């Protein structure tokens, strides 16, 4: 099926997969190019993932970090935004297949830019996802908000002290930036925002545990900053458990193996998984048809020009690409996307692909917030922590949020939360809390019906 409403064009066809940092920046950088762009993504929004934890903990609304892609690109006439999940890329016929509600659409390309990002990895234990959602999408963040606030609600109604303790125990797996931010914010929510709001339970007695199989907090930021983040979290009452390998996750808790081989059980109703990433399966589809290799995380090893070996018109950028010295961070995707867009533009003007300069990444540093008024930052060799790091973090995140209104709304939400103790997004709905379980139940029912049909 072709795209209804699309005007046939003999212009150079650029297909971009994904509307995250890579996809959106590639499209925007091609704004003045004489090309016909189709941007295909499986969500209708561009997602600012670094602030997902604030949606999950009720500080900001999902709209503030997920503006509709077609509205962002409304004035870019050379670009059509298409909703659909890409299921296949055919490098030989230069086409991309995407599915929307059971319909498959085929889109031809001259240049393909793949920026489909990464999902959560459970290191081969996908069954953990049911009880420990990750933090990759708006759905994840809203579900976690439902689970976190729902646990306090259930604890208020519980007369069984053991069950109450389980409901008031929150385990965050993975002590990278997302885990640190989540643990810090759950602790502040319990201590600060919800203090005094219940009659039967004391929210400040909630137990927040941050655990990791690694021996340090925030390993990529170095020992000094990791220690500072750990000290600050401990001051907030977060329990840090390092060298702790999760071996099982179920409805009621988590099983952990310690370095001495002993096995521990933590009873906890709410678990958050922020421990690993796995690149989009589109990477494997590309690797199977080319000489490209993929690593254990499914990232495609691209050439110095970010193209797939043997396919100079197919580029992989962002979290899906494996490039030495380029981290899986927003800047890696943004800079890679802009570099590729510039290549496309210059080659349309006649530049020879054989003379491409390699992509070079400019490291602008990295940051993580720990709690209000406290962050850690590493810019080049300069490392700093505390209030000024936090101010720098606020400022940079505002700069990179898309849209003026969004920036104002976010600033207002931050003022309410950080200067007072209120959070403006504490609403939860039944759908947020139970959607994943319900969808899985529906899928099971559908599978049983299919099996019964096949058997009859
Ligand atoms: C919770 C969290 C916090 C983070 N914090 C920071 C931070 O503080 N600083 C920082 O620099 N980085 C941070 N990152 C990392 C950063 O967000 C990523 O590196 C960046 O988003 C990568 O950009 P991308 O374009 O490669 O992928 P993404 O931004 O993930 O975009 C992928 C896009 O592809 C689409 N897609 C995926 N599969 C398909 C398909 N089959 N068909 C169609 N569309 C598809 C998705 O819908 C999405 O639009 C964080 C990430 C997470 C999850």
Range of the domain at 136: 126-275
Instruction: Specify the ligand 1 atom closest to the Cα of 367.
Output: 8
**Considering its fold, how many domains does the chain have in total?**
2
Same domain, 148 and 254: yes
Q: What is the pLDDT of residue 35?
A: 98
Same domain, 283 and 266: no
Compute, in angstroms, the gap from residue 356 CA to the centroid of ligand 1: 27
Does some domain include residue 177? yes
Does some domain include residue 192? yes
CA 217 from centre of chain: 19
Task: Give the SS3 label for residue 332.
Answer: helix
pLDDT in tens, 316-334: 999 999 999 999 999 999 9
Name the residues annotated as catalytic.
181
- Stated as kind and residue range, the H or E segment containing 45 is none
Q: Residue 220 above 90 pLDDT?
A: no
* Residue in 16, 17, 18, 338 to alter for ligand 1 test, most ligand atoms within 8 A of Cβ: 18
User: Distance between CA 279 and CA 121 in Å, rounded?
Assistant: 9
What number is the average pLDDT over the span 82-107? 97
The domain that holds 346 is classified in CATH as 3.50.50.60
Last residue of a domain, which of 305, 322, 355?
355
Same domain, 137 and 261: yes
What does the mean pLDDT of the chain come to?
Answer: 93
pLDDT in tens, 9-18: 789 999 999 9
User: Distance between CA 105 and CA 412 in Å, rounded?
Assistant: 42
Angle, alpha carbons 209-134-371 (nearest 5°) = 45
Transcribe 50-105 into DSSP letters: GGHHHHHTTSS-HHHH--BHHHHTTT-TTEEEEE-EEEEEETTTTEEEEEETTEEE
Instruction: Specify the ligand 1 atom closest to the Cα of 47.
Output: 29
- Measured from CB, residues less than 6 Å from any atom of ligand 1 are 17-23, 40-43, 49-50, 52, 85-86, 115-117, 135-136, 177-178, 280, 282, 318-320, 328-331, 333
Q: What is the pLDDT of residue 405?
A: 84
* 305 C-beta neighbours (distance < 10 Å), count: 15
Same domain, 224 and 176: yes
Q: Residue 4 above 90 pLDDT?
A: no
Q: What is the pLDDT of residue 43?
A: 97
Whole-number CA gyration radius for the chain: 23
Does some domain include residue 5? no
| Dihedral sign computed on CA atoms, order 217, 222, 227, 233 | negative
Angle between helices 21-29 and 330-348 (to 10 degrees): 30
Nearest CA to 280 out of 298, 267, 306 is that of 298
Transcribe 144-158 into DSSP letters: HHHHHHHHHHHHHH-
Same domain, 210 and 295: no
Same domain, 227 and 305: no
CA 271 from centre of chain: 17
Q: Residue 455 above 90 pLDDT?
A: no
What number is the average pLDDT over the span 148-177? 96
Same domain, 144 and 255: yes
Instruction: Point out which residues pair with 315 in neighbouring strands.
Output: 113, 307
Q: What is the pLDDT of residue 444?
A: 74
Does some domain include residue 361? no
Q: What is the pLDDT of residue 104?
A: 97
* Residue in 69, 73, 329 to alter for ligand 1 test, most ligand atoms within 8 A of Cβ: 329
User: Distance between CA 16 and CA 26 in Å, rounded?
Assistant: 8
- Whole-model pTM: value is 0.92
- What is the b/e burial string over 355-380, where b = at least 16 CB atoms within 10 angstroms of the residue's CB? ebeebeeeeeebbbbbbbebbbbbee
Q: Residue 3 above 60 pLDDT?
A: no
| Dihedral sign computed on CA atoms, order 351, 328, 54, 62 | positive
Q: Residue 431 above 80 pLDDT?
A: no
Q: What is the pLDDT of residue 180?
A: 96
Same domain, 145 and 270: yes
Does some domain include residue 290? yes
Same domain, 240 and 326: no
Among protein residues, the one with the nearest Cα to ligand 1's atom 39 is: 116
Compute, in angstroms, the gap from residue 407 CA to the centroid of ligand 1: 20
The domain that holds 255 is classified in CATH as 3.50.50.100
Last residue of a domain, which of 338, 355, 372?
355
Instruction: Specify the ligand 1 atom closest to the Cα of 332.
Output: 19
Last residue of a domain, which of 244, 275, 306?
275
Confidence class for position 172, pLDDT limits 50, 70, 90: very high
Compute, in angstroms, the gap from residue 329 CA to the centroid of ligand 1: 8
Compute, in angstroms, the gap from residue 371 CA to the centroid of ligand 1: 23
Q: How far apart are the first and last CA of the chain?
A: 33
Among protein residues, the one with the nearest Cα to ligand 1's atom 50 is: 50
Confidence class for position 440, pLDDT limits 50, 70, 90: low
Does some domain include residue 424? no
User: Distance between CA 83 and CA 88 in Å, rounded?
Assistant: 15
Q: Residue 6 above 60 pLDDT?
A: no
Q: What is the pLDDT of residue 47?
A: 96
pLDDT in tens, 237-296: 999 999 999 999 999 999 999 999 999 999 999 999 999 899 999 999 999 999 999 999
Between 100-114, 264-278, 321-335, 413-427, the lowest mean confidence (pLDDT) is in 413-427
Between 195-209, 390-404, 441-455, the lowest mean confidence (pLDDT) is in 441-455
> Under a CB-based contact definition with an 8 Å cutoff, are residues 191 and 204 in contact?
yes
Does some domain include residue 406? no
What percentage of the chain exceeds 90 in pLDDT? 82
Same domain, 218 and 315: no
What number is the average pLDDT over the span 424-434? 82
Determine the length of the chain: 456
Does some domain include residue 305? yes
Same domain, 241 and 133: yes
User: Distance between CA 161 and CA 42 in Å, rounded?
Assistant: 44
Q: What is the pLDDT of residue 5?
A: 47
Q: Residue 445 above 80 pLDDT?
A: no
The structure tokens listed for 371 are 């709690």
- Stated as kind and residue range, the H or E segment containing 264 is strand 263-267
Same domain, 114 and 161: no
Q: What is the pLDDT of residue 187?
A: 97
């Amino acid at each position: 099926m072709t795209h209804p409403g699309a005007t046939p064009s003999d212009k150079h066809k650029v297909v971009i997969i994904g509307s995250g940092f890579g996809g959106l920046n590639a499209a925007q950088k091609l704004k003045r190019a004489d090309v016909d762009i189709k941007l295909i993504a499986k969500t209708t929004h561009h997602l600012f993932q670094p602030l997902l934890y604030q949606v999950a903990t009720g500080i900001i609304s999902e709209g503030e970090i997920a503006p509709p892609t077609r509205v962002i690109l409304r004035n870019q006439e050379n670009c059509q935004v298409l909703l659909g999940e890409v299921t296949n890329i055919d490098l030989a016929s230069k086409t991309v297949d995407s599915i929307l509600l059971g319909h498959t659409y085929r889109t031809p390309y001259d240049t393909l830019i793949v920026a489909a990002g990464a999902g959560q990895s459970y290191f081969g234990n996908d069954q953990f996802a049911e009880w420990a959602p990750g933090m990759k999408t708006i759905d994840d963040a809203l579900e976690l908000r439902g689970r976190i606030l729902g646990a306090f609600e259930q604890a208020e109604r519980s007369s069984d002290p053991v069950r109450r303790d389980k409901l008031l125990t929150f385990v965050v797996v993975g002590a990278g930036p997302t885990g640190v931010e989540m643990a810090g914010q759950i602790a502040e929510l319990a201590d600060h925002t919800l203090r005094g709001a219940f009659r039967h339970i004391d929210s400040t007695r909630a137990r927040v545990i941050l655990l990791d199989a690694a021996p340090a907090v925030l390993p990529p930021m170095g020992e000094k900053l990791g220690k500072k983040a750990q000290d600050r979290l401990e001051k907030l009452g977060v329990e840090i458990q390092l060298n702790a390998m999760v071996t099982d996750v179920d409805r009621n808790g988590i099983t952990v193996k310690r370095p001495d081989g002993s096995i521990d059980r933590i009873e906890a109703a709410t678990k958050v998984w922020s421990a690993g990433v796995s690149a989009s399966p589109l990477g494997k589809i590309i690797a199977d048809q080319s000489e490209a290799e993929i690593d254990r995380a499914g990232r495609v090893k691209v050439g110095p020009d970010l193209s797939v070996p043997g396919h100079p018109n197919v580029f992989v950028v962002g979290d899906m690409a494996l490039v030495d010295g380029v981290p899986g961070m927003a800047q890696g995707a943004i800079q890679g996307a802009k570099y590729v867009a510039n290549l496309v533009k210059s080659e349309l003007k006649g530049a020879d692909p054989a003379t491409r300069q390699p992509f070079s990444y400019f490291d602008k540093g990295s940051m993580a917030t720990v709690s209000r008024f406290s962050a850690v930052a590493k810019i080049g060799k300069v490392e700093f922590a505390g209030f000024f790091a936090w101010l720098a973090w606020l400022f940079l995140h505002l700069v990179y949020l898309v849209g003026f209104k969004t920036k104002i709304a976010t600033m207002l939400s931050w003022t309410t939360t950080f200067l007072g103790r209120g959070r403006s997004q504490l609403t939860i709905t039944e759908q947020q809390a139970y959607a994943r379980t319900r969808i899985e139940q529906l899928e099971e029912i559908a599978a049983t019906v299919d099996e019964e049909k096949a058997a009859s």
